[in-house]
A and B are shown apart, each in its own frame.
Chain A
Amino acid sequence: PPHTPIRAAMNSIQQLRFDLNSAQDQPSDVLCGYFKNCTVDPSEEIAKRVDQLGQVFSCRFAQAVGQGCVGLGKQRFCLGVRLYYRVMEAMLKSEEKRLSDKNFSKLLNSSAFHTSLLACALEVIMATYVGSTFKNGDFGSSAFDGTSVETDLCFPWILDVFQLPAFDFYKVIESFIKAEPSLSRDMIKHLERCEHLIMEHLAWRGDSPMFELLQQSHEEGPVEQAEPPAT
């Protein structure tokens, strides 16, 4: 059959569901092992954060798409959580190998890290669904002019939902791509576009934490000699 945009989107969704079918909604035993190895066990905080962000996400999803779609928002969030735990485990395995250390207490107790990682997982889910359900005309005429409701739920929508600085989201993108080999070429391109948007625009907003870091860096002075301008 011809490879239409709708068919491509349906194939991506099918693949995503297949990939995450065997993944768990809860941290695996391996992940729990990493939590237990921490100086401060983050298990409880992680579970609480996932629960809170789930409520916020479902509420905002229903506001944007329609109150009848609360269940759909919960389904999307559930897929995002599966991906979040899976990528977290892969990242920690890779860090253990790189650093020869099993105690990631600082990282695993960072709220910015978890919120960014979950936001990135959800962005992958939401971007996969763009061009599917709501483009079939069920949700009004906008479906026919290319301005699907779901397009509005793509990046940077998730930053607003989680009140997450773009600068923090940026930090997880590269490690996320490295840790999740099943990402399609289109999805990697999408995440790259998110990176560019942050670099060129979102990270330079007045409330960005980047300015404070630049200030700190300026006060501490250069750590090493700057490279020549040509480089």
Chain B
Amino acid sequence: QEPLTASMLAAAPPQEQKQMLGERLYPLIHSLHPSMAGKITGMLLEIDNSELLLMLESPESLHSKIEEAVAVLQVHQISEASHKSN
């Protein structure tokens, strides 16, 4: 599969751009966190497309963003649980 480039994204409408980035990010994230891949991908897609492209090109920055997202999700789930139990 050829790498996703800025020009490929620029040729697509905004909604399609997020879809293209998501389809590339999801498998990479799923290999690390299968159970949370959908939510982590959804979180990362809210980041600017140019930064997402950089992350697709650099596994280290992608991994650190994924770990950040996992930490945020876990805090979010804890606060959700505490809301429910109140």
Bound pair: A and B? no
